[in-house]
């Protein structure tokens, strides 16, 4: 019976069926649709190595032909997908967003990483399962991607909306780690406001300090930072002009004066999103 000849061009559009053989080398019986290129990808080797191992002078292979392939066989794609890998948090991430990308639930992601809250920070490395169905954002972790020339053009935030949203929350009680209208801490308050216009990761005051652009003096809609219970940036709020800022303090969401005897000596600087 006449042999059926498969070329790399015609066989590439057809399916592949492989039979694994000895442990030291894969003994593969060629089936309809197989190509040397397909075998090289499947077994972690190259077309040149397969040809050399089998003394082939061309890329032509035949149905029923047995090839010896030395390589690392990808015997189970499912096992590979289910194994744990890692993901580095970038600006704009949230547990919900990451969990969706990896076909997980937020609770599964938290359990895998031993997280007690939904707080994550830019640059944090999380364990994930499977392969992401969404391409990771090309973001320089921990650094700002905006220009400091103009609040409205660089941040793309509607500062009027930012201020009105903040003012509407005045009186909301303080809650450590809080990110909802049932209670906020200072960084949770900022996270809530920003996510009304964009999508940012839940981080702490230090995270916002490190990811925003410094400005010499605050403009309306910028963020002002203070050192309070610990050295470095540990408190922040939204600047609304006339030395006033809105923040979630120990008395809840309120407006304070940056020049008063408490805040003035604790002021660290202003940043722009």
d(CA 250, CA 58): 76
Question: 57-61: which pairs have CB atoms within 8 A and are 24 or more residues apart?
Answer: 59/7, 59/8, 59/35, 60/5, 60/6, 60/7, 60/8, 61/6, 61/11, 61/30, 61/34, 61/35, 61/36
Is 186 labeled as catalytic in the residue annotation? Answer: yes
**Spatial CB neighbours of 124, under 8 Å, sequence gap ≥ 6:** 88, 89
Is 235 labeled as catalytic in the residue annotation? Answer: yes
Q: Which residues pair with 214 in a beta bridge?
A: 271
Is residue 12 within 8 Å of residue 66, measured between CB atoms? Answer: no
Which one of the listed residues 91, 110, 247, 272 is annotated catalytic?
Answer: 247
Which one of the listed residues 235, 236, 237, 253 is annotated catalytic?
Answer: 235
Place of tokens 């890998």: 85
Nearest to 130 by CA among 110, 96, 101, 89: 101
Place of tokens 């909802």: 180
Q: Which residues pair with 183 in a beta bridge?
A: 180
Residue 119 dihedral angles phi and psi, to the nearest 5°: -75, 130
Tokens, residue 174: 């303080």
d(CA 177, CA 186): 9
What is the C-alpha R_g of the chain? 28
Is 116 labeled as catalytic in the residue annotation? Answer: no
The residues that are catalytic are: 186, 235, 247
């Amino acid at each position: 019976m006449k042999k059926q000849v498969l070329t790399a061009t015609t066989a590439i559009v057809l399916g592949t069926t492989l039979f694994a053989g000895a442990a030291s080398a894969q003994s593969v019986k060629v089936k309809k649709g197989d190509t040397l290129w397909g075998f090289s990808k499947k077994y972690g080797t190259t077309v040149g190595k397969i040809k050399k191992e089998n003394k082939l002078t061309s890329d032509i292979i035949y149905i029923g032909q047995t090839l010896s392939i030395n390589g690392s066989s990808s015997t189970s794609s499912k096992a590979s997908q289910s194994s744990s890998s890692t993901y580095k948090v970038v600006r704009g991430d949230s547990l919900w967003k990451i969990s969706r990308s990896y076909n997980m639930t937020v609770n599964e992601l938290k359990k895998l990483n031993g997280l007690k809250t939904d707080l994550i920070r830019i640059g944090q490395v999380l364990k994930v399962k499977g392969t992401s169905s969404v391409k990771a954002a090309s973001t320089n972790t921990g650094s700002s991607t905006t220009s400091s020339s103009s609040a409205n053009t660089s941040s793309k935030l509607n500062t009027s909306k930012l201020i009105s949203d903040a003012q509407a929350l005045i009186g909301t009680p303080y809650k450590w780690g809080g990110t909802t209208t049932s209670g906020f801490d200072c960084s949770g308050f900022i996270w809530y406001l920003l996510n009304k216009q964009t999508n940012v990761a839940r981080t702490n005051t230090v995270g916002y300090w490190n990811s925003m652009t410094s400005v010499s003096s605050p403009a309306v809609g910028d963020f002002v930072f203070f050192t309070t219970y610990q050295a470095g940036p540990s408190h922040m709020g939204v600047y609304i002009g006339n030395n006033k800022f809105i923040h979630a303090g120990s008395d809840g969401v309120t407006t304070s004066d940056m020049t008063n005897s408490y805040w003035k000596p604790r002021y660290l600087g202003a940043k722009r999103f």
